[in-house]
């Protein structure tokens, strides 16, 4: 059996997240169907993370084991010919036998994109959250730095979150403007359910004057979800990067598929 590490990207608008669901279509189900058809065998895929319904991924890592003699090139181009247009394979490489996309992951980076304009842009439908209220990105960039460090983020996760340990480490949090787009980029060791969306929603409350500029440290200490801001919609959220140990060795170089 060979273990393959595959990087994909997808527009999540049509899917109920990554993980296979009993009553809703998920990216995993679509990917596994295409993969099983390509290999001619039943294969279960392990993904690096769950993503919420409607959330996108610019870089999503998965792995699977197969007894097939297919090449990396065959996997990339074979899958891209079978997958729908909203899912694309970027790279494929043969990994160590014990590589696991989820358990070997040491960090992730997310981006949240807001179309900050009074006017609708149909090209951002399902790919950005529209907010007409003027955003002061410099003020929010400064406030976002209060998230950095290792903290108990109980106040910044969904009330349905079942994680006993809500301590996470945030390595960086930046807010920038690119024309009408305001982009929130946050990286860390891991994230709780809805955590990024609540962090962004809290920054928007600061922007709108509903919270003071220095509110974040007190909210973190409170561990109280009602003290934080709203949960912004999923369509603006992207899993942007997935990080693995640099010393991790693969048995062959990745094959890059240009999908531009």
> In 10 A of CB 67, how many CB atoms?
9
CA separation for the pair 202, 207 (Å, rounded):
9
Kindly state the helix (H) or strand (E) to which residue 30 belongs, with its residue range. Answer: helix 27-39
> In 10 A of CB 229, how many CB atoms?
23
Q: Is 160 assigned a catalytic role?
A: no
Per annotation, catalytic residue among 52, 141, 152, 218: 52
CA separation for the pair 78, 82 (Å, rounded):
7
CA separation for the pair 179, 5 (Å, rounded):
36
Determine the 3-state secondary structure of 241 from DSSP.
strand
Which residue numbers are catalytic? 52
């Amino acid at each position: 059996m060979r273990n393959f590490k595959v990087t994909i990207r997808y527009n999540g608008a049509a899917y109920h997240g990554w993980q296979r669901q009993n009553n809703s279509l998920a990216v995993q189900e679509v990917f596994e169907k295409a993969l099983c058809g390509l290999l001619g065998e039943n294969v279960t895929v392990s993904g690096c993370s769950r993503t919420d319904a409607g959330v996108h991924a610019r870089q999503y890592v998965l792995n699977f084991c197969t007894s097939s003699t297919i090449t990396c090139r065959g996997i990339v181009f074979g899958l891209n010919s079978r997958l729908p247009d909203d899912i694309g394979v970027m790279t494929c490489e043969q990994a160590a036998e014990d590589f696991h996309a989820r358990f070997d992951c040491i960090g992730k980076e997310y981006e949240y994109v807001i179309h900050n304009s009074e006017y609708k842009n149909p090209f951002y439908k399902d790919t950005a959250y529209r907010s007409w209220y003027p955003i002061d990105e410099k003020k929010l960039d400064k406030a976002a730095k209060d998230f950095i460090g290792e903290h108990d983020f109980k106040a910044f996760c969904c009330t349905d979150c079942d994680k006993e340990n809500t301590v996470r480490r945030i390595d960086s949090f930046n807010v920038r403007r690119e024309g009408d787009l305001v982009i929130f980029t946050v990286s860390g060791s891991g994230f709780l359910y809805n955590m990024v969306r609540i962090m962004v929603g809290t920054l928007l409350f600061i922007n709108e004057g509903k919270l003071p500029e220095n509110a974040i440290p007190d909210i973190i200490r409170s561990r109280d979800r009602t003290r934080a801001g709203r949960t912004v919609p999923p369509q603006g959220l992207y899993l942007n990067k997935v990080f693995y140990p640099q010393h991790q060795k693969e048995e062959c170089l990745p094959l890059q598929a240009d999908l531009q």
